[in-house]
Amino acid sequence: MGAANCGADSRLRSLLRPGGRKTVAHRASRGSEAPEHSPGAGRKNFGDKGTFRPVPGPSNGSCRSQGSRLGLLSFALRACPVNVTAALIGIRRMAAVLTILLAGSLGWAQSGACSCGANPPGPPPTRSVESYANTPDDLKPFSKYTQPYYQNYTRTPEYNGAAADVPTLKPSDVSEVAIGFLGPIYQHKDIALGTAMLNGAQMAIDEANARGGYGGKPFHLKIHNDGATWGASSNEIVKMEYDEKVWAMLGSISGDSTHIALRVSLRSELPIVNCAATDPTIPETLIPWILTSIQDDREQGYTLARRIYTDLGYKRVGLLRVNERYGRFGIVKFKDASRRLGHPLVIEQKYMPGDTTFTRELQVINDSRVDAIVLWADAPAAGTILKQMQQMGMKQPVFGAARVLGGGLFANAGNAVEGLEVVYPYNPDRDDPLWVDFQKRFTARYQAKVDAFSALGFDTMNILLDAICRAGLNRGQIRDALYSLERYKGVTGEMVFDPNAKNVAPLYLGKVKDGAFTWRRYTMDPPYAKVGEHGVDYAGPKLADAPAGERKIGVLGPGAETLAAHLSAAGYRVVGVNSEQAWGKASDELVKLVYDAHVLGLVATDRASAHLAEQIAVKTFIPVIGISADRTLTSTNVPWIFRLDADTTLADAVRCLTDAANRAGPNRGAIRDYLAKGNLVAGRYAFQSTGELR
């Protein structure tokens, strides 16, 4: 290792060992060393993105006061007429002026005015929440059996250090305000993601400088690469802290590098903002120096579990993930939620970063007879996985974490992307003017589409710049400003921060329909009520047995007469009614069929036929088996409908009814009860009381 790196390594060891380098607060207590903590002092380099042109201000370089606004107010007061009518007009004008002045003082994000720490927020108030990360009761560990005597991470983490007591520097004390950036921007597989995050952050910096910077002094982003090796990244963090003396930093994408930065911040007292690392253990270190603006894998995993198990009713789920920290840590909370909701993960397969062939892993998952598949992968790999699933004839619905959506998904998947569902931090298709304008500015500048990394990089950097402007050049007060934040409205929408300075706003659920995503807000909370959640029983009068003689099974659907003629069932005659004929004629023939007392059950071969048969079954008390992918069939509280998947053969569906009739007897009510109790029929099928397969 070169000499330069040796120095950085020694400083890192000093930071991490007990009794190492003193904290900022201790060093600043020695008055002669105060100038050492003037990040950027004496530097002439005003940034990498062109020349900074400060807005004219006071000659001493201090932050511009509100004098110009007070002068405008004084002028308005002197201009008020003396007569009563004119005075009223003058009062209205003064009210308008006051409104403008107050609006201008609401904050950095709204007005662009930096107060330069004129009124620092002070220590954050102690807050508490009932449930960490808004976790619903049924997703908490052991919630079915006991309540914990203490819950972690529900209160504002304590900070009792002296960082805020360090003298706050004035704009005249610095030539620039240095802010660190750590992300994979070269020699890394995640270059595209890191570059997008950097572009968003740099755009926020440049727009802040165009508004006047920090009292006429520029914000300067100190850019560092998050290398693929642990030691390289740690060295970059130390350089930011001790060579460039940044006031705060943004980064990174990988959870391990963010954890390293967090450990450094524990000793150096450096504020960190995180817009990309979704590792759920980051805030659980209780190191009170980091704000996270992206909903982490805990919230993503719990939200996916709610959608898959509670909403859609799937039972057997397989998972395919990338074999690195993102995939390894990301799936933990989804697996926990699966187990707590009563459906442990059936199979988990992993692939190596850079793999392009996934047929082996997909075959293993398919052989496990799963109902649905979850992907914890980046967009290009996810697109290829979907395409190869289509080529293999796999028809399971696919769900993905937020990073599944990105560049390469649609290009690699083609039409195989249809039906994919993902969770996402915000709605990328909304028409909010703030969002639309940001997209135009970003695309014009970088000739690239906005994604979560660029948009959250922009918003999160603005959160940090706002904290610096409110707190002043004082790391402790910047930390206080970050942890005082409860809500923030940026280009991505509204963020909601818990006491751990972690965004816990509900995620958005997107589903691909006709080649494009449709979005809606989707929470982790279970519905307060759900139709057919516990099934439905038949509470009517006892039905009579079928009369002696020939027993029949009815079939309704396209070409049903032909299909029935070629189908044999021992001891039963299969009778078909074509659904393609005029609707009224088909209904008449179906009614005649079901009122034939010898017909013990009915099979509907497609969605439309199943819905028609279901409505007739309500009046005629006949068990119906619908062959359809439409789950709404079993959500209407009709106790006579049972659903088989769309790829089920007609012969198997008929056999389900004949097996039930042979065991329960020639009685429609007894056949319904036999199916609803979960008895095995046709050698492989068993139904819940809801009508869905077990």
Domains and CATH numbers, the chain: 67-96 (no CATH), 106-119+175-295+431-496 (3.40.50.2300), 297-424+508-522 (3.40.50.2300), 551-676 (3.40.50.2300)
Token code pair at residue 2? 């070169």
Token code pair at residue 561? 């007469």
Find, among 311, 319, 204, the residue nearest to 250 by Cα: 204
Q: What is the reported pLDDT for 590? A: 83
Q: What is the reported pLDDT for 60? A: 36
Token code pair at residue 422? 């993902």
Top pLDDT among 78 and 268 is at 268
**pLDDT tens across 125-137, in order?**
999 998 899 899 9
Token code pair at residue 38? 């003037």
**DSSP symbol at 199:** H
> Global pTM?
0.68
Residue type, 668: R
Order of strands across the sheet that contains 372-376: 347-351, 317-322, 372-376, 398-400, 421-424, 507-513, 516-522
SS (HEC) of 597-662: CCEEEEEECCHHHHHHHHHHHHHHCCCEEEECCCHHHHCCCCCCEEEECCCCCHHHHHHHHHHHHH
pLDDT band at 34 (very low <50, low <70, confident <90, very high): very low
For the chain, percent of residues with pLDDT exceeding 90: 63
Do the beta carbons of residue 599 and residue 577 sit within 8 Å? no
Helices 84-104 and 67-78 pack at an angle, to 10 degrees, of: 170
Q: What is the reported pLDDT for 377? A: 96
Residue type, 250: L
Residues with Cβ within 8 Å of 362's Cβ and at least 6 positions away in sequence, in order, are: 320, 349, 385, 388, 389, 392, 394
Top pLDDT among 15 and 685 is at 685
Q: What is the reported pLDDT for 16? A: 39
Instruction: Specify which of 146-160, 495-509, 531-545 reaches the highest per-range mean pLDDT.
Output: 495-509
pLDDT, mean of residues 478-493 = 96
Q: What is the reported pLDDT for 532? A: 54
Q: How far apart are CA 294 and CA 425, in angstroms?
A: 7
Residues with Cβ within 8 Å of 359's Cβ and at least 6 positions away in sequence, in order, are: 388, 392
Q: What is the reported pLDDT for 636? A: 78
DSSP assignment string, 80-124: --SSHHHHHHHHHHHHHHHHHHHHHTS-HHHH----TTSS---SP
pLDDT, mean of residues 416-429 = 97
CA end-to-end distance (rounded Å), the chain: 60
Radius of gyration of the chain (CA): 32
Q: What is the reported pLDDT for 393? A: 97
pLDDT, mean of residues 422-445 = 96
**pLDDT tens across 505-544, in order?**
999 999 999 999 999 999 998 876 565 556 677 878 889 9
Residues with Cβ within 8 Å of 1's Cβ and at least 6 positions away in sequence, in order, are: 9
**DSSP symbol at 173:** G
Q: What is the reported pLDDT for 112? A: 62
Of 362-366, 398-402, 419-423, 609-613, which gets the smallest average pLDDT?
A: 609-613
- What percentage of the chain's residues is helix, strand, coil (to nearest 5)? 40, 15, 40
Strand partners, 322: 351
Instruction: Specify which of 94-98, 231-235, 294-298 reaches the highest per-range mean pLDDT.
Output: 294-298
Find, among 489, 466, 490, 494, the residue nearest to 478 by Cα: 466
Give the CA distances from residue 288 to residues 110, 157, 261, 326, 551, in Å, rounded to whole numbers and listed in that order. 27, 6, 13, 23, 74
What integer best gives the mean pLDDT of the chain? 84
Q: Does residue 25 have a pLDDT over 70?
A: no
**pLDDT tens across 603-660, in order?**
999 999 999 889 888 889 999 999 999 888 888 788 999 999 999 999 999 999 999 9
| φ, ψ at 473 (rounded to 5°) | -80, 75
Helices 3-16 and 230-238 pack at an angle, to 10 degrees, of: 80
- Helix (H) or strand (E) holding 205, with range, is helix 191-210
Find, among 40, 26, 22, the residue nearest to 169 by Cα: 40
Q: What is the reported pLDDT for 13? A: 40
pLDDT, mean of residues 492-512 = 96
